[in-house]
Chain A
Amino acid sequence: MNFEFSEEQNLLREQARGFLADNCSMKVVRQALESDSPFDADLWRKVAEMGWTATVIPEEFDGLGLSYLELSVIADELGRAVAPLPFSSSVYLATEALLAYGSPEQKQNLLPRLASGEIIGTFAMAEVKGEGAINTTGTDKISGTKLAVPDADIANICVVVVKSDQGDGASLCLVDLDQAEVSKEVVYTLDPSRSHANLTFNSASAELLGKEGEGNAAVENLFNRAAVLFAWEQTGGADTALEMAKEYALGRYAFGRPIASYQAIKHKLAHMYVNNTLARSNCYYGAWALNTNAPELPLAAATARVSAIQAYYYAGKENIQTHGGMGFTWEFDCQFMYRRSQLLAATLGGEAKWQEKLVTALETQAAA
């Protein structure tokens, strides 16, 4: 057993952290939040130049052919930087969908361009509040509306979940967003450092991704895989919130001493540390399961996801609390993690959904 990253992977981490410190400071996050432009194209180009978007794409499609362990390291660091990038949409969802279900032509056509960052992909499912039925229909011409799709106004392609009267009741379609039959309506969200748009398809040209009527199974699989990578981002972000709370508590004085010396604050921070450590360790297991395609993936993914949602939420809100009034200002950076934690929890479905998946996986395992 070896439950750590390799030396090369740790080097990659150092390199990533250095790169993000230089290119994606909290100032950059703030610019993304405050500016009218939907995203930081310059930062995206640099990240793509580092090869991050190409990490797990095989070399035959101009990728780096690295493993999910390397991608986990990058996810952790992007989360830590609260990077305002469409990385999760394009890499953990759209690229993964193509890798898993793309035809040879679809892969040949799109993967090299996703690898180079030339195009951005995203994933669209929700149509109503909550999990309600999918009403977008069609396979080569699709019609319907998808709500608050992350990064949709900057993405070039989208994997769309459509209703099917076959198989499990859904299919995946691949849609080129740069066509007149797709309209994008930008929506303001809890986390404007990542842009979102409602997508309406008016008989938009599309093609099946994978088999018709196997969409729900595909979503299940894709979400399990993405959950591990999301969990890394969440855990990275939770660590940043803890770090920020700690720095502030050490410097802020009340009643003649640093607030960091009061037990109520110390214990709050200790609990953040505990949550973050549990989540991180579960992410290790998730990364292993993802990387080896282990049968434990559904359980490992749900475990990582549940603890990461909880850790990021707690660290995000209690970091604000630790800052007192300053924490509630626009001027302070605490808001970034508070916003992002909610965004990352919403995409892929929240805590209750993953708790249920966890227990179902436990039961499946016990029955096996």
Chain B
Amino acid sequence: MDFSDSAEEAKFRAEAAEWLQANAPTDDEIKGLDEMAQAKLWQKRKVDAGWACIRWPKEYGGRGATAIEQVILNDEQSKVKSPSTQFFSIGQGMAAPTLMTWATEEQKRRYLPKLASGEEIWCQLFSEPAGGSDLAALRTRAVKDGDDWVINGQKIWTSGAHYSDWGILVVRTDPDVPKHQGLTYFFVNMHSPGVEIKPIKQLSSASNFNEVYFTDVRIPDEQRLGAVGQGWQVALTTLMNERASIGGTRSAGQAQSLLKLAATLEIDGEPASKNKAVRSRVADWYAKEAGLRFTGYRSMTAMSRGEVPGPENSIGKLVAAPMAQDLASFALELQAQAGVIYTPLDESFDNMFQHNYMNIPGGRIAGGTDEIMANIIAERVLGLPQEPRVDKGIPFSDVPTSGGKS
């Protein structure tokens, strides 16, 4: 066990730090650009120099780097002020691994480099009004017509649909078999005729997600990933990567931010950071964050030894999201009356806990709710049985739903 960089790692770290510092866009360069244009500029610069999607094979835009190198790069990236590239995270974190597993070689060469460079943005068209947790209850239909499939139905909660070029899509191709068997997976051009996108306003006032309606949208059969009826299996590739990517990143350093904030506030005439109740909470939250960070390092080590990482990573989101919520609420109460002052969409330190408080409810739901994550740990990690289900082994069309029969 050795926590410090090996000579090779240290060299990589130095290179990464040097490149990032020298190349992060200057204020002058990004002046007047909107967030998206800033993100695209930064992402393109990174990919051209080999500093984006570094774990991907070279031919798809990466450099075949190791998991540890990715951690080092993230580490160095976090020290450099640069535009956020969150717009690309669904495409790079979920669509790309699915394409790598299921697409043809030609498709990988066509789509992955543009995903890496940020030239094309992808979204995830999975959830529907009838099924979020119960994803396989989706009803959007695809019917074969010549070499095309014709899509009709509705998706919901689609983050970034309004700025996306492509979407990964799961639809029902056969309603007369049990629900998991009647699904098929495609990718779809979001600019296709018949795709209609309507923003949904969140409780945080932002509108990051959308309803997406499909009316006779045609998708060529080549854009199918996996066999007809194999959509559930393909979707699992996406979901596994979703949980890994969401789990790892959230809420690093929050406990220390809280301590920093508390030092500037008073309770009973002394700095709130000296208050024992405050300190006790900071300690608990720090211990959780540290536990997540080191759990991540354990997985990295397993990967760098060529082992499949253990199930430890599945705890990330389940720990980080509720904790970030509790921590934000606590931080706001420390600010007493002033804690209620809120500037929507402002992510600066001054508004950070307000921003988090208003956004974390979504974090506990997106990508698998807390309850679903706990079920996953219980079933896949601990091997406990599923609850009895009334939808097993019967045709999807006979399954009871929120709106009556399917």
Contact = CB atoms under 8 A, between A and B. Distances in A.
Nearest to A283: B294
Secondary structure of the B side of the interface?
A: helix
A1 B6 contact: yes
Contact of B382 (A6, A246, A288): A246
Contacts of A282: 287, 290-291, 294
Contact of A359 (B283, B294, B375): B283
A284 interface: yes
Nearest to B313: A277
Interface string B257-289: 001100000000000010010011011101110
Nearest to A366: B256
A261 to B, nearest CB: 4
A190 to B, nearest CB: 24
Contact of A358 (B283, B312, B377, B388): B283
A307 B385 contact: no
Interface stretch (A93-101, A265-273, A334-342): A265-273
B319 interface: yes
A362 B282 contact: yes
A358 B285 CA distance: 11
Interface string A257-279: 11011110111011101100111
A267 to B, nearest CB: 4
Interface of B: 1-6, 9, 68, 71, 255-256, 259-260, 273, 276, 279-280, 282-284, 286-288, 290-295, 297-298, 300-302, 304-305, 312, 315, 318-319, 371, 374-375, 377-379, 381-388
Contacts of B383: 246
B273 to A, nearest CB: 8
A69 interface: yes
Interface string A231-259: 00000000000100010011000000110
B392 to A, nearest CB: 13
Contacts of A310: 284, 287
B374 A277 contact: no
A355 interface: yes
A260 B283 contact: no
Contact of B377 (A1, A274, A288, A362): A274
A356 interface: yes
Interface residues on A, range: 35 or more
Nearest to B297: A3
A366 B374 CA distance: 35
B157 to A, nearest CB: 24
8 contacts: A1-B71, A3-B3, A6-B1, A249-B384, A270-B375, A282-B287, A288-B2, A307-B287
Given A3-B298, A278-B315, A355-B284, A362 B259 contact: yes
Contacts of B283: 302, 306, 354-356, 358-359
Contact of B378 (A257, A269, A281, A307): A269
A83 B34 CA distance: 63
A366 B259 CA distance: 10
Contacts of B280: 352, 355-356
A1 B68 contact: yes
B385 A263 contact: no
Given A263-B387, A303-B287, A303-B290, A5 B1 contact: yes
Given A3-B300, A4-B305, A355-B279, A266 B379 contact: yes
B287 A274 contact: no
Q: Which 3 A-B pairs have the closest CB atoms?
A: A278-B291, A355-B283, A266-B378
B275 to A, nearest CB: 11
